[in-house]
Amino acid sequence: MKYTVQQFKKDVCEPYAWPGGYPRYFITADGAALSYKSALHNQHLIIDSIENHSNDGWKVVGCDINWEDAGLYCDDTNELIESAYADNELKR
């Protein structure tokens, strides 16, 4: 299924999945991970890339939950992306 601007706008409205409250992040066409905060801050670039089918690193192709990756970092900000179930000891 193709990821659309409409879907991105819906996903970027809330950093946590409902139901469950699990932390979400965004995936770009080149495989990069973007935190919710980065996607929110750069949504104009992301929307432009989706609309114009750009390969500029901002084209988001999906939104997912970080279930257990304690070492998942945002490729834009280098901030740790919150995990739903990773051991807190691994996050430090």
pLDDT band at residue 57, thresholds of 50, 70 and 90?
very high
* 29 part of a folded domain: no
- Global pTM reads 0.90
Any domain includes 15:
yes
In this model, does residue 92 exceed pLDDT 50?
Answer: no
Q: Does residue 91 belong to any structural domain of this protein?
A: no
Q: Which two tokens stand for residue 54?
A: 């750009």
- Asked if residue 17 is part of any domain, the answer here is yes
Quick check: 75 and 33 in contact, CB under 8 A?
yes
For residue range 10-41, what is the model confidence (pLDDT) as tens digits?
A: 999 999 998 889 999 999 999 999 999 999 99
The domain tally of the chain equals: 1
30 within domain boundaries: no
Tell how strand 60-65 and strand 33-35 pair up.
unpaired
Distance, in Å, from the CA atom of 83 to the CA atom of 1, rounded to the nearest integer, reads 25
Range of the domain at 46: 5-23+35-80
The answer to whether position 89 is within a domain reads: no
- C-alpha 88/C-alpha 47 separation (Å) is 34
Does residue 10 lie within any of the structural domains? yes
pLDDT for res 72: 97
Give the per-residue pLDDT at 86: 86
* pLDDT tens, position by position, 60-84: 999 999 999 999 999 999 999 999 9
